[in-house]
Amino acid sequence: MEVGVKTDIGKVREINQDAYYISADEGPLFIVADGMGGHKAGEIASNMAVDIISSDLGKDMNFLELDDKEIQNRIKQSIGKANQEIYKKSLEDEGFAGMGTTVTLIYIKGKKVFIGHVGDSRAYLFRENTLAQLTEDHSLVEELIRNGSISREEAKLHPQRNIITRAVGTSPDIEADLIVKEKSKDDIFLLCTDGLTNMLEDEEIREHLLSKEDMQKVCENLVEFANNKGGYDNITVVAIKF
């Protein structure tokens, strides 16, 4: 397994509200989170989510013989725990009111890749030169696309394209999407925040994955390219190649 990661503040933002986690020693867990909220609140929310989930899932999942359903339940419970802690903190401190974060994670067990997802960060799979988006954005424009109100092209310029409809920490309860994929040799799984996908088309991401560069270089190149196209948001990319 080969892993790359890059996070960047971008060209416009004053602080980086993205956070990420990569297991040490080729461990099974990878997370990206994109925080939202007032002064430093989004940064706190994303870091809380990453810390809570990585601590919770890292405790014993390496050692327990859990079946697929149990792993999915543990992922949901862990995201739920982060949701409760962030929501509680937002109520306790007026400066953190309304803060929240996206969470998109990968947990690997054997040939299975488990993906947990809330918000508009994304997980992609690059296989046999084809890039597929695995997660569905929890966003207003995605809902408008689904009900036929706007086209995908119109969504790119929609004035409310940054509004997300589901986030960790903004309400007492949260529903996380769970996706399970079987990995194959040479698969690349990509986790990223919307600072990348708002700047780059899927085809541009695919071209970088075709480059034959190592995963660290791919992540660095993607972030550089997003910055060159405007860098309007924080950008975080994690790439895992099998």
Fold classification of 2-241 (topology level): Phosphatase 2c; domain 1 (3.60.40)
Buried b (16+ CB within 10 A) or exposed e, 167-186: bbbbeeebebbbbebebeee
What pLDDT sits at residue 58?
79
Tokens of residue 153, six digits: 């092209």
What pLDDT sits at residue 179?
98
pLDDT digits (tens, 9 = 90+) for 51-97: 999 999 977 666 668 899 999 999 999 999 999 999 999 999 988 99
| Residue 149 near residue 79 (C-beta atoms within 8 A) | no
What pLDDT sits at residue 65?
80
Residue ranges of the domains in the chain?
Answer: 2-241
What pLDDT sits at residue 75?
96
| Residue 115 near residue 180 (C-beta atoms within 8 A) | yes
| Residue 164 near residue 139 (C-beta atoms within 8 A) | yes
Q: What are the residue ranges in the chain where pLDDT is below 50?
A: none
What pLDDT sits at residue 5?
98
